[in-house]
Amino acid sequence: MKTIAIIPARAGSKRLPNKNIMHLGNIPLLAHSIIFAKQHNFISEVYVSTDSKEIKKIAIQYGAKVIDRPENISGDFEPTVSALKHVLEDMEQVDNVILLQPTNPFRPENLLNEAFEIFNQENYDSLFTVSRNFQKLGKILDNKFKPFNYEIGQRSQDLEPLFFENGLLYITKAKLILDDVIISENAFPLEVNHIFANVDIDTNEDFEYAKYLLNKFEQK
């Protein structure tokens, strides 16, 4: 059974330009996910899909293989699955793909081991990580706030459990990706309630929060 990791890292980023090559700690943001992937011996190869020469250079420096992403699947609105599919199309037999997003640089140490064991033992076709949301959510309609997941006055600890896709990792059968699917209808949602699940870097504020957490955990 062959399992590979794919890290999609294109050059374009409107809200935080060049974020994938910005240094978080002493290394580029992209390198955190490469290093994490290479710590797991069940991953045969780590690939970075990119349209950037600078990202390509960093990926190779940290031991990943690079797949040059064509311009036609590198746009702002192109789904992630396009990059994954492009990596697989000219590759020999691959059974499983682990998607690691460079914008989620921190992951609990044993998370991927736990996730991959569940994925294999239960024979899921896909798995992704989620976290519980404890916020009181609502909509604004006609200038009025309409609660969505609670009633006014209800305690937050009594809310009906709701979860969000945190982006920490995804594991999918390669054959699904070739059919343009990352999360199947039967995907297993692995609950991860950890502070790292709140780090998803799209803005400068997100980046500053990540630097704060990195400094906090390094001090420990």
- Asked, for residue 69, whether it belongs to a domain, the answer is yes
Among residues 57, 53, 58, 36, the alpha carbon closest in space to that of 116 is found at 36
- Asked, for residue 149, whether it belongs to a domain, the answer is no
Q: Considering the entire predicted model, what is its pTM?
A: 0.94
The pLDDT score that the predictor gives to residue 55 is: 97
Among residues 148, 128, 129, the alpha carbon closest in space to that of 137 is found at 148
For residue 38, what is the domain's CATH number?
A: 3.90.550.10
The pLDDT score that the predictor gives to residue 160 is: 87
32, 106 Cβ separation under 8 angstroms: yes
The rounded distance, in Å, linking the Cα atoms of 91 and 53 is 22
- Asked, for residue 157, whether it belongs to a domain, the answer is no
The rounded distance, in Å, linking the Cα atoms of 163 and 200 is 16
The pLDDT score that the predictor gives to residue 220 is: 60
**Parts of the chain with a pLDDT under 70:** 219-220
- Asked, for residue 112, whether it belongs to a domain, the answer is yes
The pLDDT score that the predictor gives to residue 144 is: 95
pLDDT tens track for 121-157: 999 999 999 999 989 999 999 999 999 999 888 887 8
Per DSSP, 56 falls in state: H
The pLDDT score that the predictor gives to residue 12 is: 76
- Asked, for residue 148, whether it belongs to a domain, the answer is no
Range(s) of the domain holding residue 212: 3-131+164-219
Domain count, the chain: 1
The pLDDT score that the predictor gives to residue 218 is: 77
- Asked, for residue 184, whether it belongs to a domain, the answer is yes
- Asked, for residue 154, whether it belongs to a domain, the answer is no
- Asked, for residue 186, whether it belongs to a domain, the answer is yes
Per DSSP, 153 falls in state: T
